[in-house]
């Protein structure tokens, strides 16, 4: 049996595999009549919980990963350039997303794409509040209101609650996709996700 | 351009994803006119080099992995049961493989399959020398000669040299497949491997 509930898509804006998934998951879900709930989180607390280090900082695995990012992007047909400043802090980006989402989901989704593409194709440093505000203004978003919101305790608490909730659900990396309770870690799980959506499990 | 050199397939006999790859890589390579060189290594020194812990022992990731082993096996159509004793030491299994390989590659390959299937479908404890010798005897291999060989310094040195050579080539997990210098980590790279073999790169 096939469900119809929204798919949860957890990611960090600094995650190359998260970016690749962001360019694929909406179309894939739509082909199977599903919506996707985007949920940016912070990989820092997730890695702390799992005891892992960032991929590119691990001996041997770091070299492999940098090669695999580029090759996986090519394989999936997604434009990608490895940022020199990597990984970066993504609190501001994630907070901006949730602030927009409280007002308009479609605007937030579109801005999340803008952030990902700015970082992974134009090498803009989206850890900088000024860059996030500039991109927001270009997208027609009230950057003065956003600037104010970014200083609020409520918005910081909102992101922290999202990260805590993600950890409680078992999120252990980026991207992490949950379909009707079934978790899929990594953009390389796309074929399994497609099979799961087509058949309501396998 | 497509090469014709043998593909290197690195794995640990205790690795579920390595086992899944072992059930797929030979046929896939053969469809593209390639042979495969199986190279069992020890994940212990590899994890030590990369600073990682065994997947199933990592918080959050452990639960996910156990679920993913079973689901990935189902997705690939490979029989699989999670061993309770896991992971296990695979020195004896790997040494037995290299000893056989010095005499007959086909016999060694076939025995490697026997070891993998004994562990992951019959839950035999292939860390036990007695189990390896029993399986060897059943396969018509001179188990007395194997028993003697397993005590030899030469065979221990052989395996150690293989592990050192693997680390020097960047092997950072199991399975790890190298095609004409291009490395692929994980059974989830099968679609990329297929594309690479079909097109001589991408």
Whether residue B56 is contained in a domain is answered as yes
Q: What is the pTM of this model?
A: 0.96
Whether residue B2 is contained in a domain is answered as no
Condensed to tens digits (0 to 9), the pLDDT of residues B69-82 reads 999 999 999 999 99
Whether residue B41 is contained in a domain is answered as yes
Range of the domain at B88: 7-199
Residue B53's pLDDT band, with cuts at 50, 70 and 90, is confident
Whether residue A1 is contained in a domain is answered as no
The beta-carbon neighbor of B75 closest among A67, A173, A192 is A192
Mean pLDDT of A176-200: 97
What pLDDT shows up at residue B135? 98
Mean pLDDT of chain B: 96
Whether residue A22 is contained in a domain is answered as yes
What pLDDT shows up at residue B1? 42
Whether residue B156 is contained in a domain is answered as yes
What pLDDT shows up at residue A1? 42
**Mutation for B interface: A10, A24, A59, most B CBs within 10 A:** A59
What pLDDT shows up at residue A4? 84
Tell me what ipTM this predicted complex has: 0.95
Phi, psi at B42, each rounded to 5°:
-115, 125
Mean pLDDT of B152-177: 97
What pLDDT shows up at residue A2? 54
Rounded Cα gap, residues A28 and A189, in angstroms:
12
Mean pLDDT of chain A: 96
Mean pLDDT of A37-54: 94
Condensed to tens digits (0 to 9), the pLDDT of residues B116-137 reads 999 999 999 999 999 999 999 9
Domain count of chain B? 1
Whether residue A111 is contained in a domain is answered as yes
- Residue A138 confidence (pLDDT) above 90: yes
Chains A–B, number of C-beta pairs less than 8 Å apart: 77
Nearest-10 Cα torsion for B1, B6, B11, B16: 70
Q: How far is B10 from chain A (nearest CA, A)?
A: 15
Whether residue B74 is contained in a domain is answered as yes
Residues in A 66-105 with any Cβ partner in B closer than 8 A: 67-68, 71-72, 74-75
What pLDDT shows up at residue A182? 98
What pLDDT shows up at residue A53? 87
What pLDDT shows up at residue B96? 98
CATH number for the domain that contains residue A145:
3.40.30.10
Q: CA end-to-end span of chain A, whole Å? A: 10
Condensed to tens digits (0 to 9), the pLDDT of residues B166-195 reads 999 999 999 999 999 999 999 999 999 999
Nearest-10 Cα torsion for A34, A36, A37, A39: 150
């Amino acid at each position: 049996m096939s469900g119809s509930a929204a798919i949860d898509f957890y990611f960090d804006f600094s995650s190359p595999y998260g970016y690749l998934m962001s360019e694929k998951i909406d179309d894939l879900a739509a082909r199977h009549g599903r919506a996707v709930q985007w949920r940016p989180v912070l990989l820092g607390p997730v890695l702390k919980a799992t005891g892992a280090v960032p991929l590119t900082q691990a001996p041997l695995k770091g070299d492999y990963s940098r090669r695999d990012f580029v090759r996986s992007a090519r394989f999936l047909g997604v434009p990608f350039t490895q940022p020199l400043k990597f990984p970066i802090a993504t609190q501001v980006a994630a907070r901006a997303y949730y602030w927009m989402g409280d007002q308009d989901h479609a605007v937030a989704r579109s801005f999340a794409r803008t952030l990902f593409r700015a970082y992974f194709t134009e090498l803009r440093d989206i850890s900088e509040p000024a860059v996030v505000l500039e991109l927001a203004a270009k997208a027609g978003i009230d950057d003065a209101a956003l600037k104010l919101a970014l200083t609020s305790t409520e918005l910081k608490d909102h992101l922290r609650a999202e990260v805590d909730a993600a950890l409680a659900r078992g999120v252990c990396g980026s991207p992490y996709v949950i379909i009707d309770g079934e978790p899929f870690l990594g953009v390389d799980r796309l074929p399994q996700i497609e099979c799961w959506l087509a058949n309501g499990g396998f």
